[in-house]
Structure 1
Amino acid sequence: MYAIFFTCIFLLTVSNLSHAAHIRHEWTLHYAAYNPDGVYRTVISIDDGSNEFKFPGPTIRAQKNDIIEVIVHNGLHTEITSIHWHGIHQLYTPWMDGVSYTTQYPILPLHSFNYTFVANPVGTHWYHSHTGAQYADGLYGILIIEDPNDPYKKFPDLPLIMTEWFHRYAIDQFDILSIHPTEHHHKFPQFLSGVMNGKGRHNCSLIDQPLLLLNMTEQEQNQLGDKLLCVPNRPYERFTVIYNETYRFRLIAAGSEFNYKFSIDNHELTVIAIDGVYVEPYKVQQLWIYIGQRYDVLVTMNQRSTLGVHWIRAAITANDNNQFYAILHYNDTRNGTAEPPQSPLPPNQTFLLNSMSLVPTNVNTDFSLKPPAFNETLTVNVTCLPQDHRCTINSVINKMSFEPTLYTMYIRGVQQTTLPNVFNLKLNDHVMIVVNNFQDFGHPFHLHGHSFYVLGVGKYNASGTGEQTVFDPVRDRHTLNFINPPYRDTEQVPELSYIVIGFITNNPGSWLFHCHIAWDMEAGMIAVFNVAADKIPPPPVNYPLVTDYQVRTSSSNKVQSTLTVFFLIISVYIYMF
């Protein structure tokens, strides 16, 4: 009977999803000596079998509702790992969210994991390691889900993923912060340089070459051979465009520490989407983009330059003098080789500081806080302890369980209650979260498994007393936007401020809510939302338990791939119909 039932579902699913493609990738992670900004260091790279070195990792493109399958082989001999698909909601595939010790056991060295999920929602997304601060070492890439009904599909695509770049391995930097907490408290790594689409340029005269050698293994030093530790004048990423044409830049902030002021000299940016959600067009000259966020912007190429180039800039929000660059080149002008300007950003630029001015065009924003619309109201207070490098939510440092939270929920059928900062939520609750930031620097917060409405942002009253110092959901309700709030999955909580967000718990699973500064996340600024333990779908075939880890052969991967895709199609059918 069950066989007949599943066969019927399968046939119905295939007939209704005949347009969906199966996008398959197979990756091997490994260490490499590479110089994205000219300075050689150890990076984590992805080998996709093309025999072509890729940094960042390979770009994944799919159509809405395609099935994406990525088999990840961990060739990092001394590190565990996992891959998170930032922006993908993983509806009915919570096991594929890629968070070590929350949705899966990490991938052990010389072991593998098969990620299979539906390409949804549409938009500009990215993927990155969600184990420690590994993505600061290069384990990240672009993920684009194309919309068949995209109103802007006629404009050529120019993806741009940007990040600051350090010359010390991430885990070594975090060890320094942990071992000497008082001396290094919040003295995060200083800005050195940055890369756009994996390309940048550092001033080689500033390099401490003995220190670089000290941070490399003997094998990595041997790989360098006679190469210089710093190669000057590395090429910038270059975008060649046609005069009077309009292009769509897909901007991704993949930083581990810094936020950016993005601009293109002499060109206007028209924001059309945030975190995959279309918004009413909004024109600016400078865009503040915070870690984990994505913006789609249209740029019309109507400004030729006598130099042949215009500079694409990302300046650190805290210091305009710390900038990194790419080149915008008009195809009918000379191939300019000018050096980047040694000056702050152009003055008097119109800018977008946060998303509160952006109005969604395709989201149902009838999201009232009037009782009984909201079943849950949560308060999240974030801070970092002055005496050591430990970050907290509600004064508790989150230490994750060795057993993945999602697995515990599924096996026991109940919510996890013994860990700090784990919030148990029912299915289809309307939840409001007040995030208070009592520090003098901001925190970009990302929610897994959902997007959220940004209902309000503001300064708390530091001169007040008691409850008057923070946002009160009843007293301050009138300050929130219930008409057309922005809808996204990552938002900045400014210094000495609060944000109020709302979301619907329509996705059973175990979902992280965390600061996306790598050092803060590693130090414990994490909460977990457990949604509907009794509605969690079963784990995929061959979901690895800690006792089951083994090196998968090619044949076993093929079997796992076939079965996983089969059951995923069934889940898609249930979701769509």
Structure 2
Amino acid sequence: MLLITCIFIFLITIPTAAIKRHYTWEVTYEYKSLDCYKKLAVAINGMTLGPTISAVQGDTIAVDVINNLLMENVAIHWHGIRQRGTPWSDGTDGVTQCAIMPGEKYTYTFEVDRVGTYMYHSHYGMQREGGLYGMINVSVPGVTEPFKYDADHGIILSDWYHHLAYDQSTALSSIPFQWIGEPQSLLINGKGNYNCSGLTPGICNSTNPQCSPSTLTNFWTCSIFFKNFITTHKHGSQRRLRIYVAIFNYLPNHFLQPPPTNPPIGPIWNDTNSQLNQSLTIKARKGFIITPPRKPDRIIVLPNAQNTINGYLRRSLNNVSHTLPTTPYLIALKQNMSDVFDPSPPPEDYNSTNFDIYTVANNTNAISSTSIYKLQFNSIVDIILQNANSMMRNVLGYGEGKFNLLRDVEKYNLVDPIMKNTVALHPYGWVTLRFQADNLGVWLFHCHIEAHFFLGMLVVFESNVEKVGDIPKINYGCGKNQSHGLAIVFINL
């Protein structure tokens, strides 16, 4: 699932001292009509989209997650939060924690140490497709905007499938393979508008107050007097609205012949030039520039592809389709469990001579593996992602075509690159990420298109796990670690 976050920082009342913010969330399944079509959705305290967490840089967030789903586990990932000193709160099932079983509670505790707009979402199976996601807004302590405004509006755009995550995962895991297709709707803050014509009102009702036609908010931006106007209209209301509009016509436009307003035709999906140029125009803002190290200690090249393994269609990075173990990596490494995952190192390069990005490769040598990349602590790592004929940290460079190590490194931006936690990998293109492995723990790195992640398009990095502090006992509840951390009590009768 592709989620795009539009950033509008919330700045209301800003305390200067960091505090601890405590939340209690109950996760349930509820019937929702988010786009007017009724289906089961995952809700937090009855809400889909989930509640927004608003905090100040330096605050500690504690979230008690109670899983009241009857037959399904839960894990919540705090996307973009670095989890320094709290890797067990990263919320990635099979990597940092055992998922929360039905009826159980798990407390995520972490510090929000960087200003920005982030998101949280489920990281269990394809559960995020069911609507378990929301926003995190972190503002600057003691700093106010240089101008005043009436309100801020945070926006999350997301796709929405009418088929349940169970249906989608079954289709993706079938022989023959069944692609899930395009989403039926696009939601804005958990609301959309599906065409209900031809469907019974009990299934799809365009007047349902849960979906967007019931309450339509129009944002009008007018340059006259630099004033913004917001108009809200509820369908079915008997109130008569009086709308006054002032229109100024400037020469040489004729008052009977207004200028055309037809929108321009956008580029097609594989027009890499337009996408590349857009990415290259984004630079780090002055005052927020973090100069990257000049040279890497290690380079890992990860071309992505579509493979068939034992008859099943899979997605892979460098011909390896990753499978998560039943025992989380963090627990297995901390407890020195040698038989949980494949100890052999995954490949770091590929045969670029025979790799054609413009054709579908016949990767008969692809494998499924649980192996991980072990990074030396504080080392500088370059990750080069190479895309082929597919739809779709410090970002040093974007490029078109096949990456060339000798030629394309000269294109890197080492002056003012941007810091990102999600990056677009354009069709037939490449992107280079550079980071310092200075965060203790085990970290998941994956495609954020939900179906691609489910099909194995991911890798796992580990750095200095032996230095990680004591892991909460509740994490020892799945796979081969169920016996660890359990107290055995003998009672004499």
TM (normalized to structure 2)?
0.74
Match of 1:505 in 2: 437
Distance 2:403 2:195 in 1: 46
Match of 2:302 in 1: 380
Residues 342-401 of structure 1, C-alpha deviation per residue, up to 9 Å, x if partnerless? xx98216899874421221234443244xxx32111111111226643111111111111
CA separation of 1:426 and 1:362: change in aligned 2, threshold 3 A: farther
Q: 1:408 aligns with which of 324, 329, 332?
A: 332
Shift in alpha-carbon separation, 1:109–1:121, aligned structure 2, 3 A: same
* 1:221 matched residue in structure 2: none
Which residue is equivalent to 1:456?
Answer: 397
Task: Check the 8 A contact 1:123/1:145 in 2, yes or no.
Answer: yes
Q: CA deviation at 1:66?
A: 1.0
Partner of residue 529, structure 1: 461
The corresponding residue for 1:262 is: none
Tell which deviates more after alignment, 377-386 or 149-158.
149-158
Shift of 1:475: 3.2
Alignment of 1:239-250 (within 5 A): 239=217
Q: 1:334 to 1:538 in 2, by over 3 A?
A: farther
Check whether the contact 1:392–1:398 (CA below 8 A) recurs between aligned residues.
Answer: yes
- The 1:309–1:457 alpha-carbon spacing in structure 2 relative to 1, beyond 3 Å, is farther
In structure 2, do the counterparts of structure 1 residues 243 and 517 end up closer, same or farther at CA, with 3 Å as the change threshold? Answer: closer
CA contact (8 A) 2:218 2:232 kept: no
Matched residue type, 2:384: V
Q: Report the alpha carbon displacement of residue 159 of structure 1 after superposing the two structures with TM.
A: 0.6
Distance 1:416 1:145, change over 3 A: farther
1:41·1:167 contact (CA, 8 Å) conserved in 2? yes
SS for the counterpart of 1:204 is coil
State yes or no: 1:171 paired with 2:93.
Answer: no
Amino acid at match of 1:383: A
Among 86, 95, 109, the residue aligned to 2:79: 86
* Higher gyration radius (CA): 2
Partner in structure 2 of residue 571 of structure 1: none
Q: Distance in 2 between matches of 1:121 and 1:405?
A: 26
Gaps of 5+ in 1: 1-16, 48-52, 210-226, 246-266, 268-299, 311-330, 336-343, 443-451, 461-469, 551-577
Within 5 Å, give how 1:205-224 maps onto structure 2: 205-207=197-199
One-letter code aligned to 1:359: K
Give the C-alpha shift of residue 106 in structure 1.
0.8
Q: Distance in 1 between matches of 2:192 and 2:413?
A: 40
Q: CA deviation at 1:27?
A: 1.2
Q: 2:193 aligns with which of 183, 193, 201?
A: 201
1:476 matched to 2:426? The reply is: no
Q: Which amino acid aligns with 2:205?
A: V
CA 1:19–1:379 in 2, change beyond 3 Å: closer, same or farther?
same
What's the TM-score, normalizing by structure 1? 0.64
SS in structure 2 of the partner of residue 79 of structure 1: coil
CA distance in 2, matches of 1:549, 1:333: 68
Partner in structure 2 of residue 160 of structure 1:
155
Q: Which runs of 5+ in 2 are unaligned?
A: 1-14, 234-240, 246-260, 268-273, 345-368, 486-493
Decide which structure has greater helix share: 1
- Report Cα offsets for 1:97-143 as digits up to 9, x if no partner: 00001000111111111101112221101110001111111111111
Task: Tell me, yes or no, if the aligned pair for 2:87 and 2:441 is still in contact at 8 Å.
Answer: yes
- Shift of the 364–537 alpha-carbon distance from structure 1 to 2, 3 Å rule, reads farther
Compared CA separation, residues 243 and 515, structure 1 to 2 (3 A): closer
Partner residue, 1:125:
118
Higher strand share: 1
Question: How many residues matched?
Answer: 404
Q: Does structure 2 retain, via aligned residues, the 8 Å contact 1:45–1:139?
A: yes
Q: Hey, what does 1:147 align to over in structure 2?
A: 140
> 1:200 Cα shift?
1.2
1:235 maps to what in 2? Answer: 212
The CA RMSD over aligned residues, in Å, is 3.4
CA distance in 2, matches of 1:171, 1:411: 33
Asked whether the 8 Å contact 2:79–2:121 carries over to 1, the reply is yes
